[in-house]
Amino acid sequence: MKSPLLSQPGAVPAEGRDEGVAAHYGDLFREQRALADGSGLVDLSHRGVVTVTGGDRLAWLHLLITQHVTELAPGQATEALILSANGHIEHAMYLVDDGETVWMHVEPGTQGELIAYLESMKFFYRVEVADRTEDYAVVYLPAGSIAEVPEGAVVRETAYGRDLFLPRAGLEAYAAGHGPLAGVLAHEALRVEGHRPRVGFETDHRTIPHELGWIGTAVHLQKGCYRGQETVARVHNLGKPPRRLVFLHLDGSEVHLPGHGTPVRLAADGAEGRQLGFVTTSARHHELGPIALALVKRNVAVDAELLAGDTAAAQETVVEP
């Protein structure tokens, strides 16, 4: 869906998965600094919005997702995954319950597939699942923001900011009174800095939660059965994941950032060495310079100097080997 905020002065449209909103509004670093200082907002209205209503909503979701939600209090934010039968990540859901309805936002364009799965699992439970993407837009306010929240708006508050579910018809009016606007590139740079994974970026067809540090934040280890739980329990109790997420400080002298999928190798082996992983997301940070997240083999030494394509990279551990 194309956001009306793309008509704002300086707006440059995002591409790829974030198509439909602004990549930036003319000054990437200014926008990042504003978010880091707790001001401004990010238009995330391209993300899918799904609701679940009905008296059984929490008990039913509890059976399907990786998070413990039977006692989720109204207003309490959480996140959860839906896994395949083999434990591979299919969806990440960012949830909050308002006392009557579970609201969640998901990756752009994935809500249809998610809803189809949820509908197939309703059975006799008293629940209704709805796609509310056409009616509601997600807006991000950074941590420390003092922006007013419209009366009646659903808020998902986390340590790194607030997600607002706003009526789409009121998006322009809200943004006009609570700027400055920041684009998704600024939002992504702070996400990379915070080591927060994103489905479709840090994941591929075989990613399991342990590789990305989602155990404990999106995966609850003390709950009943759900699809893929056997893999989660087996890796947690008996082994180690085959790969691990790392944070990379990239050589700032390079003009171009390594894109998603760029091979990661040992610097000592050179650009023709054996591939040990790949870049998942890269960004230009207002303080740290060029940075990235990457998924590498678990046995890569934590102090090894790496190459992301032909760019030198020093790693920081996100997931312990």
Q: What are the pLDDT digits (tens) for 211-237?
A: 999 999 999 999 878 999 999 999 999
Q: Are strands 181-182 and 41-43 parallel, antiparallel or unpaired?
A: parallel
Query: Average of pLDDT values for 253-268?
Result: 93
Would the pLDDT of 37 be above 90? yes
Report whether pLDDT(83) > 90: yes
Per-residue pLDDT at 35? 97
- b (16+ CB within 10 A) / e for 269-294: eeeeeeebbbbbbbbbbbeeebbbbb
Burial class from Cβ neighbours inside 10 Å (0-12, 13-18, 19+) for residue 260 reads: middle
From 159, 181, 51, select the one nearest 106 (Cα to Cα). Answer: 51
The fraction of the chain above a pLDDT of 70, given in percent, is: 100
Per-residue model confidence (pLDDT) at position 180: 95
With tokens 């940070």, the residue in question is 285
Whether 21 contacts 6, CB under 8 Å: yes
- Burial of 225 by CB count in 10 Å (0-12 exposed, 13-18 middle, 19+ buried)? exposed
Q: Is the pLDDT of residue 152 over 90?
A: no
| pLDDT attached to residue 267 | 96
pLDDT 10s digits, 43-72? 999 999 999 999 999 999 999 999 999 999
Supply the pLDDT for residue 202: 98
Confidence of residue 252 (pLDDT cuts 50, 70, 90): confident
pLDDT-derived band at 11 (thresholds 50, 70, 90) equals very high
Query: Reduced to 3 states, what is the DSSP secondary structure of residue 60?
Result: helix
pLDDT of residue 1: 81
Residue 255 has what pLDDT?
Answer: 80
pTM, entire model: 0.96
Q: What is the pLDDT of residues 190-209, one digit of tens each?
A: 999 999 999 999 999 999 99
Of 92, 198, 218, 105, the C-alpha closest to 154 is 105
Look at the alpha carbons of 280, 156, 158, 235 in this order and tell me if their dihedral is positive or negative.
negative
Tokens of residue 143, six digits: 């941590």
Cα-trace Rg, the chain: 20
pLDDT in the model for residue 224: 79
How many angstroms from the chain centroid is the CA of residue 157? 15
pLDDT, mean over the chain: 96
